[in-house]
Structure 1
C-alpha cells in the first residue's frame, strides 16, 4: 500500500558529506556553523555505514491526533517516506488525557531517516498552528554512554557551551552522570528543527570520534 506524502512541503535535503543544507532547513545557521556541520557529516560518512540511532522526541499531546491521522494514515506516511520506525508512547488507562502536556515519540533509523521523520513531525505541528507565528520548538533526547559524557562537557563545560553557541539549540546534560551506575544517560536538546538537527549530528559525531579514539588506543596498547 502506498501512502500520500507526509507533508505538503518539500523535505529539506539531508546534508551530504559536503554539508549541503537546503535553504528552508538552513534557518539561522551561518557559514561557520555550516562548515562545522560539514565536518560532522564528513566524519560520520567516513566511519562505518550509517547505523540506526534512537531519538526520543517530545510532542504536545494536543497535536498527537493530527500526527497519527485518520486511521493512522499520517504516521504511516511518515514511516513510509522516511524509512524510520516511529512509535508514540501509549496512554495508561488511568491517565487523564486532559492533564498530559506532551507525549514521547520514539524514532529509530539512520541519520537521514531521523532528519526526514523529525522534519515531518515539526512541519505537521507548524501546520496545525500550535506555535502560532513562532518557530516550533521541541525537546529531543539522545542516550549517550555515561563514560563519554565528559567528552561532551569538556573542560569547565567548554564543549557544551560551544555546542550551544554553534547550533543555536539548548543542550542539557545530566548533572549526576558521575554518580549513576547506568551505562547510558539522556542528553536533552531543545530548539527548532535546524538547530535540533545540527546539535544531534554534532553530538553523534563527538560520540563516534570518541569511540574511534578509544578503539585506536586499545589497538595500540595491544600491539
Structure 2
C-alpha cells in the first residue's frame, strides 16, 4: 500500500485487491442496521469489513432513496420488525454510494433460511406497493398496478433463472404476467453481478423474485459465494476469486491523520524519490507524460483483474463541492468512469472525511483525476 501526502491536506492511500477472503478485507459499509434485543431501537454501526456475513442466505437489491427509507422505517421500526419476525439482518450502503450508473443504494439482506429470506422479500415488495399507492411513483419503483424490483444476482445463478433454452424464464413470464429482464455481465466469473429487473403486480413480482431467491440460495455453499455476498454490489469486486494470500486487502478505512499536510513526504517515481506538487496546471508536457506512461505499460497492468482502490482524506468543508448538488458530481464521475465512489465520516475527526474510489486501475485513476478537478475547483471557489 502506498500513501501520498499533498500540500493541500489531501492524503491518498492506494490499495490493490488481491482477492483475499471477505474476513481479511477492510471495506466498511456505511450503516449495517441492527436492532438490539427486540426493543425496536435502531442501532446503526460501522462494520470493520465489507458486509459482515454471518448467515447462510444472502440477497442483494438495488434500493432507491424512497424504498430505503421505507425499509428502515421511522426510528428503525421496520428493521426491528423484520429482525424480530424472521431473524433477518439488513445493511445499506452509504447515502452517497450507488450502484454504477444508477441512483440506487445496495441493500444486503441475510437470513438463516431460504424461507425466511422469501418472507423478508415479500415485506419489501409490500413496501414498494405501499409507496406506489401513496403516490410515490417513479421509474425505480413503478406505478399503480405495476411495481418494480431490481435484484443483484451472481452470474452463476442467472443461468438457473433463465433455464435451458430460456424455458424457466419463459414459464415465469407466462405464469405471472411479469416483465423480466436481465442485464449483461460486465466480465467473466460466477460471482459477477447481473441485474434482474422485475415489473408487474406485487403478486407477480413476488413469485418471480422467489424463484430468483431460490436460485441464489442454491449456490450458497459454493466457494465464491461468500465473496459475492460480502461485497455490497460492485461488479469489479464481485468477480474476484476467493483465494488466500499475502498482500494488502481492500482497504476503505481512513488514512492515518499523521500523513496530512506534510510537505516533506515524498513518493516514489520511476526515477527515484521526488516530491509531488499538484499546484501546477497540466501543461502539454505533463499530459504527454501521462499518455506516454499509459501507452508503454504492458497490457497485463491495464488488464489486471484485481480491483483497485484509492482513499483520500479531504477537508469536510470541501465535501459539498466534491459531491455536487444532490450527489450529481459523484454520479457523473461514476457514470463516466464505471467506478464506485463514496464519502465517509472519520470517527473522531469532524474536520475531515474519506473519499473512496474503486474500480479497474485505469478507471480508478481517471475518476481520481476528475474528482481532483472538482476538489480544486471547490477549493478555489472557497478562496474567493
Give the TM-score band, short-chain normalised: 0.5 to 0.7
Q: Does 1:190 align with 2:190?
A: no
- Aligned twin of 2:317: none
Q: Choose 76-85 or 127-136, whichever is displaced more.
A: 127-136
Q: Which has the higher helix share?
A: 1
Question: 5+ unaligned residues in a row in structure 1: which ranges?
Answer: 5-50, 211-223
Equivalent in 105, 117, 132 of residue 107 of structure 2: 105
**CA-CA distance at 1:121 after TM superposition:** 2.2
Q: How does 1:66-85 map to 2 (within 5 A)?
A: 66-85=70-89
- Aligned twin of 2:60: 56
**CA-CA distance at 1:188 after TM superposition:** 0.5
- Alpha carbons 1:170, 1:190 under 8 Å: kept: yes
Q: Does 1:181 align with 2:191?
A: no
**CA-CA distance at 1:2 after TM superposition:** 3.2
- Aligned residue pairs total 156
- Aligned twin of 2:9: none
- Aligned twin of 1:8: none
| RMSD over equivalenced CA pairs, Å | 3.7
- Aligned twin of 1:2: 38
SS in 1 for 2:96: coil
- Aligned twin of 1:149: 159
**CA-CA distance at 1:183 after TM superposition:** 2.0
Question: 5+ unaligned residues in a row in structure 2: which ranges?
Answer: 1-36, 41-54, 138-142, 220-384
Distance 1:116 1:190 in 2: 17
Distance 1:151 1:74 in 2: 30
**CA-CA distance at 1:190 after TM superposition:** 0.8
- Alpha carbons 2:149, 2:198 under 8 Å: kept: yes
Q: Choose 109-118 or 132-141, whichever is displaced more.
A: 132-141
- Alpha carbons 1:152, 1:206 under 8 Å: kept: no
Q: TM-score normalised to the size of structure 2?
A: 0.34
- Alpha carbons 1:154, 1:160 under 8 Å: kept: no
- Aligned twin of 2:94: 90
Distance 2:213 2:66 in 1: 30
Distance 1:197 1:52, change over 3 A: farther
Distance 1:142 1:194, change over 3 A: farther
Distance 2:170 2:148 in 1: 20
Distance 2:126 2:60 in 1: 17
SS in 2 for 1:119: helix
Distance 1:106 1:151, change over 3 A: closer
- Aligned twin of 1:114: 117
- Aligned twin of 1:199: 208
Distance 2:66 2:215 in 1: 35
Q: TM-score normalised to the size of structure 1?
A: 0.53
- Alpha carbons 1:152, 1:203 under 8 Å: kept: no
Distance 1:152 1:209 in 2: 15
